[in-house]
Amino acid sequence: MIKDYQTIAAISTPPGEGGIGIIRISGSQALAIALKVLQIPGLRGKTPKVRRVYHGYVVDQSKKEKVDEVIFFYFKNPNSYTGEDVAEIQTHGGIAVLRKTLELILAAGAVLAEAGEFTKRAFLNGRLDLTQAEAVMDLIQANSEEGAKQAMLQLDGALGRFVRKTLSRILNLIASIEVSLDFPEDYDPLDREALLAVLAELEAELRELLSTFKQGNLVRQGLKTVIVGRPNVGKSTLLNSLLGEDRAIVTATAGTTRDVLEEYYNLEGITLRLVDTAGLRQSQDEIEMMGIARTRSAIDTADLILWVVDAEEDLQDEDRELASLIKDKPYIPVINKTDLRHGQKIAADLKDLDLNREPVMIAAAPGQGLDDLRQAISQLVFAGKALAKNTPILTKTRHQQSVSQAMEQIAACQQAVAAYLPEDCYVIHLKDAYEALASLVGEGSYDEIIENIFAQFCVGK
């Protein structure tokens, strides 16, 4: 758990060389500790003003040596990231300078922060709810513009506001039912029709929110898109053509690709994690066999499969084997090399397999048909729906589970009301719905969930 009686410190910038490095100190002794290691000519013994930038030096007092020329500023609680007193020192970006400065700060009384402890304190001090705290890490890790936008929307509190509004409505229902139970002589009997109407509205809103999870999760994590096919059908060429650069080695020799190669590609705001794989065939080569085993593993974990076949050749046994491997996965048949041969024959062969998938015709080497492929991927991923804009979105399995549990309890309450069960049964279901939703924003006692979330952060955040 958080050491709320201690002042913490950590380097907040990534390791390596850079223009500046940042050390953050948070806690009741943040200012006092910072001033022990700083020499600020402009202060002359005065207390620094909040949110004002000061120029000075980090000084090793034991040696009377300047360590670095720095910039310093101070935030007074509760108006800081953590909700505590916070001091930040900006040094030059060399790792030796940063480490020495941190060493002096720790010697002056701070303790080294745990992973995610600054954001954890922001949550525990009420600066952020749990969904906002998660969004901080999502924003740091976002690898697409749409992912960053979605994280920022969550950090801005869109999901938290929706959840708290829903919690308030559920709480009002619980209160009205309990009042009618406890003081029947002073209040009218419960209006079951009105209650059913409100419950139906709540269930519909939660169902709509739940429907955003697939897209939200895809935007956050990216879509693992595995390119499969026999050797030499043009898988690596397709990867290179989509990326617009030569990332995979391409030769006329079958079996050139012997391992999986993963690259990132942005499609309409979604990050495709393109995975080039070794071609599936019978082989006695030990290294190639290892690559083929990894191909099969990649197929098992794929979100989407691009199955590439060769327009110049008839369908082979290896193609049919691949069809059976991927039939239960989201996949797109891709007929490549249509600049050399039209591909109608192999298209007919694919149709005979009863795949229920329309193949996309491309010529990866000259880049023909790639727009058609992008459109096919978009249609399969989004099912014709655009990404939600400026509305609450679920991005994590934890979110999905909380909303699902709440919705199940609301539905159970509807059934209880419709069946004229005792009214205290309604309260039980509504309280369970409330608890499920409250866990989403971190209200209540959910220590294990909270510890797990902040353990995923980097030190210094």
| C-alpha–C-alpha distance, residues 430 and 415, integer Å | 12
Relative orientation angle of helices 130-141 and 145-155, to the nearest 10 degrees: 160
Residues in the chain, total: 461
Q: What is the pTM of this model?
A: 0.74
| C-alpha–C-alpha distance, residues 350 and 338, integer Å | 15
Domains in the chain and their CATH numbers? 8-128 (3.30.1360.120), 135-212+393-442 (1.20.120.430), 221-382 (3.40.50.300)
Mean pLDDT on 248-266: 58
Neighbours of 47 (CB within 10 A): 9
Q: What is the pLDDT of residues 224-241, one digit of tens each?
A: 899 988 888 888 888 888
| C-alpha–C-alpha distance, residues 439 and 403, integer Å | 10
Most confident among 110-124, 249-263, 289-303 (mean pLDDT): 110-124
| C-alpha–C-alpha distance, residues 316 and 324, integer Å | 13
In the three-class reduction of DSSP (H, G, I as helix; E, B as strand; rest coil), residue 159 is classed as helix
Q: What is the pLDDT of residues 433-461, one digit of tens each?
A: 999 999 999 886 545 555 655 666 666 66
Q: What is the pLDDT of residues 151-176, one digit of tens each?
A: 999 999 999 999 999 999 998 899 88
| C-alpha–C-alpha distance, residues 324 and 297, integer Å | 15
